[in-house]
């Protein structure tokens, strides 16, 4: 069981932890000059995509961590969304203390929008494509 736990932590929790550390690290530096791709809201699109991916990683980690619970898929998705929304808020607060950065409510809204866009994917995709399926996980129309 210890080996399985270590393997599960490595496969399902570590990717989320590394992703969060990466975002924290990037937001600890002054804002770099970004190349323009012809539209004004590229920064918001970057937030949306980054937090969309974080939501998928959070869902995988939470599903594995809660593998012995009786939580339904929708509840696991909600926890993933709440984690990502809270992480995005704390990252914006963190940026208030970084020279050359500011907290921006619209960045946080873009973070949450990315998480919201991941929800239909998480609700519809087969669990086996997203990661661990606990034995007692309620089977839905995968």
Answer yes or no: is pLDDT of 47 > 90. yes
- Which tens digit of pLDDT belongs to each residue from 50-95? 999 999 999 999 988 887 777 888 899 999 999 999 999 999 999 9
Using pLDDT thresholds of 50, 70 and 90, give the confidence band for residue 9.
Answer: confident
Looking at residue 92, its pLDDT comes to 97
Is residue 3 exposed (0-12), middle (13-18) or buried (19+ Cβ within 10 Å)?
Answer: exposed
Is residue 124 exposed (0-12), middle (13-18) or buried (19+ Cβ within 10 Å)?
Answer: exposed
Looking at residue 7, its pLDDT comes to 84
C-alpha distances in Å from residue 60, one per residue of 74, 84, 119: 13, 13, 13
Residues 88 and 41: their CA atoms lie apart, in Å, by 18
Looking at residue 59, its pLDDT comes to 93
Residues 20 and 14: their CA atoms lie apart, in Å, by 10
| Rounded mean pLDDT, 23-33 | 86
Give kind and range of the element (H or E) at residue 106. helix 105-124
Looking at residue 136, its pLDDT comes to 43
Looking at residue 33, its pLDDT comes to 66
- Range with lowest mean pLDDT among 24-28, 55-59, 94-98, 120-124: 120-124
Among candidates 39, 30, 38, 55, which has minimal Cα distance to 120?
55
């Amino acid at each position: 069981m210890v080996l399985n736990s270590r393997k599960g932590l490595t496969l399902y929790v570590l990717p989320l932890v590394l992703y969060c550390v990466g975002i924290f690290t990037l937001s600890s530096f002054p804002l770099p000059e970004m190349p323009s791709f012809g539209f004004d809201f590229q920064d918001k699109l970057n937030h949306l995509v980054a937090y969309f991916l974080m939501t998928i990683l959070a869902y995988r980690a939470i599903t594995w961590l809660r593998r012995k619970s009786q939580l339904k898929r929708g509840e696991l998705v909600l926890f993933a969304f709440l984690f990502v929304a809270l992480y995005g808020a704390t990252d914006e607060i963190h940026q208030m203390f970084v020279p050359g950065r500011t907290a921006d409510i619209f960045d946080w809204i873009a973070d949450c929008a990315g998480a919201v866009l991941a929800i239909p994917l998480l609700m519809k995709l087969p669990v086996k494509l997203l990661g661990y399926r606990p034995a007692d996980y309620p089977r839905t129309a995968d």
